[in-house]
Amino acid sequence: EHAPPKDPPVVALVFYRALNQSGDTAPVDGMIKALMAKGLAPLPIFVASLKDGFSAEITSALLKDFDVKVILNMTSFAVSDPATARAEAVSPGPFGAINAPVIQVMLASNTMENWQDGTAGLNPRDLAMHVVLPELDGRIISRAVGFKAPPRRDELTQAMVTGYQCHEERCAFVAQLARNWASLGATPRADKRLGVIMANYPNKDSRLANGVGLDTPESTAHVLNHLAAEGYDVTGAPADGRGLIDRMLTAPTNSGLVPSC
Looking at 155-259, list the stretches that DSSP marks H as alpha helix, in order from N- to C-terminal side: 168-185, 216-229, 241-249
Separation between Cα atoms, residue 259 and residue 62, nearest integer Å: 53
pTM score, two decimals?
A: 0.86
Q: Walk along the chain (261 residues) and give the pLDDT tens digit of each residue.
A: 445 455 899 999 999 999 999 999 999 999 999 999 999 999 999 999 999 999 999 999 999 999 999 999 999 999 987 666 565 556 789 999 999 999 999 999 999 999 999 898 999 999 999 999 999 899 999 999 999 999 989 888 889 889 999 999 999 999 999 999 999 999 999 999 999 999 888 888 988 998 888 999 999 999 999 999 999 999 999 999 999 999 999 988 887 555 554
- Report d(CA 152, CA 154) in Å as an integer: 6
Rg value, the chain, Cα: 22
Matching CATH number, 10-185, of 3.40.50.10540, 3.40.50.300, 3.40.50.620, 3.40.50.2300? 3.40.50.2300
Q: Which helix (H) or strand (E) holds 140?
A: strand 140-148
Sequence spans of domains, the chain: 10-185, 189-249
